[in-house]
Structure 1
Amino acid sequence: MARIRISKNSFSGGEISPFLIGRGDLKAYENGMSKMRNLIIYPTGGVRRRPGLRYIDTVPGPSRLVAFEFNIEQSYLLSFSHLKLTVYRDGTKEVEVETPWTQDQLKLINWTQSADTLLVVHPDLAPRKISRTSHTQWTISDWSFYEDEETGRLQQPYYKFGKDEVTLTASATTGTVTLTASADVFTSDHVGTRLRLAKREVEVTEVTSPTVAQALVKDKSDLVDTLATKDWEEQAFSNVHGWPVSVVFHQDRLVIGGTRDLPNRLWMSKSSDLFNFDLGEGLDDEAIEFAILSDQVNAVRSLFSSRHLQIFTSGAEWMVSGEPLTPETIQLKRQTRVGAPVDRYVPPRNVDGATLFTSRDGQDLREFLFTDMEQAYQSNDLAMLCKHLMNDPQDQDYDSYRRLFYMVMGDGTMGALSVYRAEKISAWSVLETQGKFLNVAVVGREAYVLVERSGGIFIEVFDDDLSTDSSLFGMDQEGATNWSGLEHLEGQKLKLVADGALMSDQTVVNGQISLVDPVFKLEAGLSYTHVLEPLPPAPQATGNATQGGRVRLVSLTFRLKDTLALKLDVGRGLSDIPFKRMGPTAILDSGGDQFTGDITVRALGWRSRGTEQLWRVEQDTPLPFSVLSVVEEMTANA
């Protein structure tokens, strides 16, 4: 009977798909786990219990979280809800501003920031500009395209939506004129929009019929004549034909991508003149406009400024190059054929020079990375080994401080990808809470989440000093027995950590909890459970003795780091593990010092199915837990 020792010195494979149980030959299998829930993977290979979530505020309904960072010292969390924007600074509400976006429209808002201005677009609404003048002074206004003082023309994009043979005839060349079309052109939404006839502008004031409208001549040069002309076009962005889908700043230009009626078109402003889209004569600094033409309509879903301008469409990914970008040097090349979601905006994020984006089918997290060898982009799938975790991604952001990429799933869980490309680390774990994760936004070093719980929808932030969710932490220099401020968790049973010691659970009544003895420091919040479960021993590691044979776990040796609780199942049910600390043997509890060192646990029982896990860590105790490596000693009988 063979005695085998298997050392797991790294958990950098993360949680991998159960369909890979037969692939013990993979490096990811050696470093992977069957389950990693509410655990964070160190880039060095160990794992620890995830931080708790500190309660920030209750929001009126489903919202969209957006980071606004003016500089290191001035950063804000913006919460877009139904017709309202709430601004938070350092977790404190600063101001509320009325907005035009309804709750149902929040999924498709798209934004970009420059200094103290945030540009926000939505395909059904006129784009807005949100400006900050101080911590508490924020304004929202419509975009204002550059107006040429000499001509009175607005330098916004124009396009002829009607068929080429359709003509327009003006009844006069100045003042209020009647426009007559040779085919149906006008709708009631045309009121307030501008048209160009032979490059001269008019603004529609009234629509009489689909072929007749009244308009005011806005061009200071008046119209050319009153003859029927095919040389006419209307503003590209309007209630008639839709508003911009996406927006970004790139090489000192404002880039707009796609509308409802022009889904595959891009517009670039003049250089250093962000709201001037005058094409002029095609000089180097003048505006640029082009369509993405290919074998299918590639509707622009998002834009990203990186080494090149990256365009993510419904069916492919594109690169716009040119150093610098000018009407003469610009080049458009399709790179990969993955596609991005069309029913929501999931913002692409930069991670170590690569752009991570969600695939259209919601099954992939793709790494869009330029390779010098091929001088092209590749789209590698970072979720190839854990497809069971990918469940209709809704939002994503990257925490560079913790090197964690967060991805909010449609089922309310959140994937946490520990990514470090230089060390070839790409490890997934799953974050769960009592409720559903809805949104995520990283502001500086703070990772905020929007969470739906039984008591409402809350903004919360990961806090390394806490071990419960939706929690509050308080201090009282004289000690207190009654602790209030917990109205958001009314009727909920909470975990308590008082003066560093674990206390019995308490239920919130009238927004407060009452203790028997006074305490000076108290953390109160909802529990969450972390789970660490290994893959079955691979036949390659046991000399093929475990495939078709039996295996018995003899002992486990954990190397722990700064740990205060360990609950383990080695086949006899979950139990707290006794181990030596400061001399005597005792169950590790909340009143002790954090333990760092090795602990060995004996086990009994044969396993014969070949796909069973030999052990499992599972606990909701709100105390630190961290493991660096595990050594399994077992016997195998072929």
Structure 2
Amino acid sequence: MSIQDLIIRQRDFSAGEVEPDAVRRDDIEIMKSAVRRARNLVSTHTGALTRRPGRRLLFRDTGIVADFKPFNDVTYKVVFTAGGVRVRSVGGTLLASLSAPWGAADLDSLVFEPMENEMFVAWAGRTKVLKVTKGTRSWSIADYVFDQGLDSTYRVPFYRFEDTIGITMRPSALTGNIDVVFSQAFLTAGHAGTVFRYSQRQIRCTTVTNGTTMRAQVLEELPKTYRFTVTSSAGFAVGQIVETDQTNVKGEVVSVDLLAPNSIAVAMLGSLTAPVENEKLVGPTAVTKIEEIASSSAIGATLQWEEQFVSNARGWPASVSKDRQRLIMTNFDQKKNAIFWLAAGNNRDGLIGGDPDNAMVESISAECQVFHVVGGYDEFAVTDRGIFYIPVSVGTPLQPGSVEFRPVFTSEISRIRPVEVTEGLIFLDKSTTGLYAISATGQTARPYIANEINRFHRHLFGGVKSLAVTSATSEFPSRQIFAVNSDGSVVAGQFNADREYVGWFRWEGDGAVRSVAGAYGTVVFMSTYSFNGAELGIAEELDYSLLCDSATTMTGTIAPDVYYGREVDVFGGGFYLGKAVVGAGGEVSGFSDYPTITIGIDFQHSLIPLFSNFDGGQAAGQGEQRRKIEKMMITVRETQEFQVGNRIFGSYRGGEDMSKPVPMRDDTYRYRETGRSYDPVVEISSTFPCAFKLIELTTRITV
């Protein structure tokens, strides 16, 4: 019995290139719009397949780039380099060059967040602040510094670290410059400049004498230590917190004398209000009457002290972000599961309080390291063990006492910073090959769910080191995701509103991409090229009008210095003019007939369709025999020349004016492949850099 021909009509290519192990999975929906292999192609919002855009040379530099829009309609390119920061205009003009302490090894781990006219930069050292001044547009970079009030106290967060539990603090005086002695050694040279609180009053370390002693400046007059003569000191113990019943003064018991006369020494907490005689002293295990009060000449050594949570001694955050008008600091060495929100509307106010707009520090109860916090409808805490969402609503506002962490996804996760999208966020697993998206479910019980979005495309990813997303533009009306691999290739993902997956395509070229940034409708790659045997770093912007990478348009005959001695591809008047070698002085000769030319580095696009769709009937038997492609109908739009197998299509036809560029045609071409195979393979590729858009591929396969 004969086996019927199989006709595969593919009009949607949005699923991208699938894993080789999955090419026989014709039982799943995604395979209907997939391809076997694709290089330097991208799916359009309609599902068609087109040559990927080129990249325009912006400027020569090496590092990590970020878009910064501090003022309305004013955007800058900020490049973080080894040892500095360079600020450029959108066109690439250098506006400022500033020194910074990070090195080349730190660049991939830098995390930066713009707020108004400042950009906060977290790294392995102290947080830095890049600032452009309104009016003068002058640039500066400085250490992050917490606010200081009119009373000279600092708006810093305080915390009692676990390694200081049980250690007492004893100041030598209540005011002025004093000595402070701790009962055990823990001080380091980095504590110089750190703010402490003794009984809720601030002092600032000026110098560290040794592990137990420091010199300090009293910022708030310290509470006194009183010696009470009481009716009975029985039942009181050192370390207890006690309170008077009339003046409501609290303190810590620092000594107890059980012999007559009974006396108790109490270091006051916070308040400078003095207790009075004949009121009662109330403790957790006893109550007694105060018969006499005297100020103690010796200041009590108390357990009631704290130190600055974020400091040179304890560490600075490795990640910063913002949400709900709050600067957020995370990824602390000193408290791995902590998140620090600064005060609403003031990114220098870190003093923790109980008011709704106060700063706050909260810890996730799970054993985890918080890498990042990402805002959105709610907030998401990205940790090494999974994702937690923080509900934020009218009923549960983001304020002290209302923060809750609910798990969404449990697995090991990469440190690479996730990217926020409309639906939620996109993040990378620890293998740096798996991408996941958290999206809303619309359910109250489980409002978010995490799904792998590159399950059938993992082979395209490897050592991902940078992620970015871009919004739709007039040139390309679809949102895209970009992932930069460690080998310098890029994987571009296409959001598909009609289907529950993202299609992925691998982009390659002569240059190796090191990082990507997407904002305000633009995508910028930091790439390296080998020019004249030297590796040069450049910034390139995605440009859908270009057919090559590292491209620049010239009105004269002298090219930028990055091209000196380099072979380039030349375009002019709509023609591809071939290759030329740029002279040692930048000369590009032989193209004087064209008022402008574009030079750059070509890349080749190619496509191998997938013919594995055995949808029932007698044609299903084809999977058991060698098959051949009887006929392939290739429908294209706005396409010039391309090649299928060993045949070229779309070139000049008889009678056409060859003084004009190859026409961009809307046409259908017929191709037939010889030979048989269990899995027929036909390659569609470029012949020279030109326009290509595939909208339908109809293939008749027979045995």
TM-score normalised by length of structure 2: 0.82
- Could you say which residue in structure 1 is the equivalent of 2:125? 124
Judging changes above 3 Å, is the alpha-carbon distance between structure 1 residues 553 and 223 closer, same or farther for their aligned structure 2 residues? farther
For residues 16-27 of structure 1, what are the structure 2 equivalents within 5 Å? 16-27=18-29
Aligned to 1:591: 661
Largest Rg, 1 or 2? 2
Show CA shifts across 1:590-617 (max 9, x none): 822211121112332222xx2342x111
Contact 2:14 2:496 in 1 (8 A): no
Change (3 A) 1:471 1:270: closer
1:585, 1:540 → 2: CA distance? 44
Shift of 1:443: 3.4
Give the aligned residue type for 1:153.
T
1:527–1:620 CA contact under 8 A, matched in 2: no
Measured after TM superposition, the shift of residue 252 of structure 1 is 2.6
2:418 is aligned, of 323, 342, 348, to 348
Q: Following the alignment from structure 1 to structure 2, what is the Cα–Cα distance between the partners of residues 508 and 267?
A: 54
Mean CA deviation greater in 527-536 or 87-96: 87-96
**CA 1:428–1:588: 2 relative to 1, 3 Å:** farther
AA aligned opposite 2:449? Q
State the shift of 1:16 in Å. 0.6
| Aligned equivalents of 1:197, 1:557: Cα separation in 2 | 82
- Give the letter for the 1:181 counterpart: F
CA distance in 2: counterparts of 1:58 and 1:437, whole angstroms: 14
Report the counterpart of residue 684 of structure 2 in structure 1.
617
Cα displacement (A) at 1:206: 2.1
Against the structure 1 CA distance between its residues 72 and 421, is the aligned structure 2 distance closer, same or farther, given a 3 Å change threshold? farther
Moved more, 15-24 or 584-593: 584-593
Q: Which residue of 2 aligns with 1:44?
A: 46
1:30 is paired with a residue whose SS is: helix
Whether contact under 8 Å (1:157, 1:235) holds in the other structure is yes
Contact (CA 8 Å) 1:487, 1:512: kept in 2 or not? no
SS in 2 for 1:104: helix
Moved more, 524-533 or 495-504: 495-504
Aligned to 2:96: 95
- Secondary structure of 2:216's counterpart equals strand
Distance 1:97 1:575, change over 3 A: farther
Q: How does 1:168-567 map to 2 (within 5 A)?
A: 168-220=169-221, 226-280=299-353, 282-294=354-366, 296=367, 298-323=368-393, 324-342=397-415, 346-373=416-443, 374-401=445-472, 402=476, 403-421=479-497, 423-424=499-500, 426-455=502-531, 456-475=536-555, 483-510=557-584, 511-515=586-590, 518-540=593-615, 543-567=619-643
Once superposed, which parts of structure 1, at least 4 consecutive aligned residues long, lie more than 6 Å away? 222-225, 585-590
The amino acid across from 2:398 in the alignment is: L
Aligned residue among 6, 9, 14 for 1:7: 9
Distance 1:72 1:347, change over 3 A: farther
Shift of 1:579: 6.7
Q: Which residue of 1 aligns with 2:73?
A: 73
Distance in 2 separating the partners of 1:154 and 1:410: 44
- The match for 1:632 is 699
Would the aligned equivalents of 1:352 and 1:421 in 2 still touch at CA under 8 Å? Answer: no
Q: Distance in 1 between matches of 2:637 and 2:128?
A: 51
1:335, distance to aligned residue in structure 2 (A): 1.7
Alignment gaps of 5+ in structure 1: 477-482
Separation of aligned partners in 2, 1:139 and 1:293: 39
Q: Could you tell me how far apart the structure 2 residues matched to 1:112 and 1:474 are?
A: 36
Contact kept in structure 1, 2:641 and 2:687, CA below 8 Å:
no
Superimposed CA distance per residue, residues 295-328 of structure 1 (whole angstroms, 9 cap, x where no aligned partner): x2x1111111101111111111111124322223
Does structure 2 conserve the Cα–Cα contact (< 8 Å) formed by 1:170 and 1:179?
Answer: yes
Residue 153 of structure 1 aligns to a residue in which SS? coil
SS at match of 1:355: strand
CA distance in 2, matches of 1:250, 1:553: 56
The AA in structure 1 aligned to 2:302 is T
| Cα distance in 1 between the residues matched to 2:464 and 2:133 | 31
Identity, in percent, stands at 20
TM-score normalised by L of structure 1? 0.90
Is the CA contact (8 Å cut-off) linking 1:110 and 1:120 kept in structure 2? yes
Q: Deviations over 1:411-454 (max 9, x none)?
A: 11111001134554511001111121111112322211001111
- Tell me the alpha carbon deviations over residues 320-355 of structure 1, each in whole angstroms, 9 at most, x when there is no partner: 12432222333221221134323xxx3322333221
Counterpart-to-counterpart distance in 1, 2:592 and 2:182: 84
Q: Distance in 1 between matches of 2:521 and 2:187?
A: 51
Distance change (3 Å), C-alpha of 1:486 and 1:577: same
Give, in whole Å, the separation in 2 of the partners of 1:311 and 1:239.
25
Aligned AA for 1:371?
T
Deviation at 1:220, TM superposition (A): 4.8
How large is the Cα RMSD of the aligned pairs?
2.4
Q: How far apart are residue 118 of structure 1 and its match?
A: 1.6
Deviation at 1:588, TM superposition (A): 10
Q: Cα offset for 1:359?
A: 1.8
Q: CA deviation at 1:170?
A: 1.4
Question: Residue by residue, what CA displacement relative to the aligned partner does 1:366-406 show, whole Å, maximum 9, x if unpaired?
Answer: 11112222433211111111110121111111111241111
User: Once structures 1 and 2 are overlaid, which stretch shifts more, 389-398 or 131-140?
Assistant: 131-140
Amino acid at match of 2:563: L
User: Which residue identity lines up with residue 76 of structure 2 in the other structure?
Assistant: Y
Say which of 619, 630, 649 aligns to 1:577: 649
Give secondary structure in 2 for the equivalent of 1:107. Answer: helix
Residues 58-77 of structure 1: CA deviation (Å, up to 9, x unaligned): 11x4x111121246622222
**Contact 2:199/2:223, CA 8 A, preserved across alignment:** no
Q: Match of 2:107, SS?
A: helix
Q: In 2 relative to 1, CA 372–517 (structure 1 residues): closer, same or farther, beyond 3 Å?
A: closer
Separation of aligned partners in 1, 2:568 and 2:530 = 14
Look up the equivalent residue of 1:133 and give its one-letter code.
Answer: K
Say if 1:578 and 1:370 are closer, same or farther in 2 by CA, change over 3 A: closer
Secondary structure of 2:313's counterpart equals: coil
Any conservation in 2 of the 1:474–1:522 contact (CA below 8 Å)?
yes
Q: Label 1:355 to 1:132 Cα distance change in 2 as closer, same or farther (>3 A).
A: farther
Letter in 2 for 1:464: Y
Structure 2 equivalent of residue 479 of structure 1: none
- CA distance, structure 2, for counterparts of residue 283 and residue 514 of structure 1: 71
Change over 3 Å in CA distance of 1:208–1:160 after alignment to 2: same
Say if 1:135 and 1:179 are closer, same or farther in 2 by CA, change over 3 A.
closer
